[in-house]
Amino acid sequence: MEEKMPLIGDYFPMIEVQTTHGKMTLPEAFKGKWFILFSHPADFTPVCTTEFVAFQKRYDQFKELNCELIGLSIDQVFSHIKWEEWIKEKLHVTIQFPIIADTGKIANHLGLIHPGKGTNTVRAVFIVDPKGIIRAIMYYPQELGRNMDEFLRMIRGFQLSDKEGVAIPANWPHNELIDDKVIIPPATDVKTAEKRLKDHECYDWWFCYKSLKK
């Protein structure tokens, strides 16, 4: 039976991995935490180096959100370790999160190799919640580095949405229409629709919003 590539809403597949921090089993290793698994094309490449430094610079912010990081590429663990040493020596940044050493098996299972971009992994991102459910998947080409501040925003947005039962607008918390307010799920019956217009700020019954500030 052909393996199905995991999608948003699926449980992250259980996989055993060799990392720079030893062997781990995902998603069990991060049970009760959010985690971001991100692939990079290869060690000792310029864009990937800038990404790892950027992730590390924000690692404490991710941890404050109960979120861990784990990288992956089709490189041996020895290459990962040597690259980490180079980053520490030349750029004075110590990479504190684990990196998965892959032979290609994991990358193929997760859909990280796109034929149009060669045999290396693309810049994929999986955001997984504390229950092991995939909440977001993003793909970037090899030539475009990622924006780590967006991943922080996404984790904050997911956590707020889960806690308050609301939706998060574009560019939150600096949305062009409602600033840092959040969207109330649309009414599903006439009575609730009419009540929404009286109880909340609305553009219409299907677009109501509120502030979460105390």
Do 158 and 127 meet the contact criterion of CB atoms below 8 Å apart?
A: yes
**Among 107-111, 132-136, 142-146, 164-168, which is the least confidently predicted range?**
107-111
Active site residue 202: no
Within-domain flag for 119:
yes
Mean pLDDT of 134-156: 95
pLDDT of residue 106: 87
Q: Is 158 left (phi over 0), alpha (psi -120 to 50) or beta?
A: alpha
Q: Do 45 and 118 reside in the same domain of the chain?
A: yes
Q: Classify residue 158: in a domain, yes or no.
A: no
Q: What is the pLDDT of residues 1-31, one digit of tens each?
A: 345 789 999 999 999 999 999 999 999 999 9
Residue pair 154/26 in contact (Cβ under 8 Å)? The answer is: no
Shared-domain flag, residues 79 and 123: yes
pTM over the 0.85 mark? yes
User: Residue 3: its pLDDT value, please?
Assistant: 59
Q: Are residues 119 and 208 in the same domain?
A: no
The CATH number linked to 194 is 3.30.1020.10
The predicted-structure confidence for 57-103, as pLDDT tens digits, reads as follows 999 999 999 999 999 998 999 999 999 999 999 999 999 999 999 98
Of the residues 48, 67, 202, 208, which is catalytic? 48
Would you put residue 46 in left (φ > 0), alpha (ψ -120 to 50) or beta? Answer: alpha
124 vs 126: CA distance, rounded Å: 7
Confidence of residue 142 (pLDDT cuts 50, 70, 90): confident
Predicted local confidence at residue 28, as pLDDT: 97
Candidate from 99-103, 118-122, 139-143, 155-159 with smallest mean pLDDT: 118-122
142 and 176 belong to one structural domain: no
- Answer whether residue 155 is part of any domain: no
Cα–Cα distance for residue pair 119/81, rounded to 1 Å:
22
- 154 has pLDDT over 80: yes
Does 102 lie in the same domain as 26? yes
Considering the domain architecture, whether residues 54 and 95 belong to the same structural domain is answered as: yes
Residue 79 falls within a domain, yes or no? Answer: yes
As a whole-number percent, the residues of the chain with pLDDT over 70 amount to 95
Residues of the domain holding 200: 165-214
Q: How confident is the model at residue 169 (pLDDT cuts 50, 70, 90)?
A: very high
Token output for 64: 């404050």
Is 7 within the bounds of a domain? no
Query: What average pLDDT does the structure give for the chain?
Result: 93
112-132 residue pLDDT tens: 876 665 556 778 999 999 999
Domain boundary among 103, 118, 146: 146
What is the per-residue pLDDT for 107?
84
